[in-house]
Amino acid sequence: MKKVYLAGPDVFLPDPLEAGRRKAAICAQYGLSGLYPLDNTIDLASQTASLDIFRGNEAMMDAADAIIANLTPFRGPGADAGTVYELGYMAGRGKLCLGYSNDPSSYAERARRFTAVRAEAGRQVDSEGLTVEDFGLSDNLMMIHALELHGCPLVTPRERPDDIWHDLAAFEACVRLAAELLLTN
């Protein structure tokens, strides 16, 4: 059975195990096996807990045929860094890359919620004077175009769902695409 690595800040939810179970169940409906970081058994009291988590996640990614990354903005204007790292890793490994964000707004729109953005010398800059990337994309261009060139374009809902952390419609759309691409080749 083809394996899909389920990357995302879902592991930081109050109900992280249930979130993984729901995602894996959707994968199974489409004939895919979902690999979720918390499937690895880690002793969180161990001195090496964080390294053990890393090694477990990397082994899962190496075993997977594809990644579905939850790029919903996390604790700031953009996606969760751990998830972004994993998307990059899978692109580098030549695996099929898919991703979704439950927030359909653009990065530049969201940046304005976190920092004062002003025009300066033809650029939009934040309160530190750093350029706010504005190509009208959902997030940093590296992730957005990585998805296009290493898999499928980012999936976003037409409207922001009421519960951006538990709504799985965009996720399911990714699973459907992954199944089409992985199971017909």
Binding site for its own copies (CB under 8 A): 9, 11-14, 16, 49-51, 53-55, 57-58, 74-82, 84-93, 111, 114-115, 120-121, 125-126, 128-133, 135, 137, 139-146, 148-149, 165
CB of 145 to its own copies, least distance (A): 4
CB of 27 to its own copies, least distance (A): 22
Tokens describing residue 121: 């010398």
CB of 180 to its own copies, least distance (A): 24
Quick one: 155 or 179, whose CB is closer to its own copies?
Answer: 155
Quick one: 112 or 176, whose CB is closer to its own copies?
Answer: 112
3-state helix, strand, coil in the chain (%, to 5): 45, 15, 40
Between CA 16 and CA 135 the distance in angstroms is: 33
Residue 7 DSSP code: E
The string of DSSP codes covering 29-58 is: HTT-EEE-GGGS---TTSTTHHHHHHHHHH
Quick one: 71 or 182, whose CB is closer to its own copies?
Answer: 71
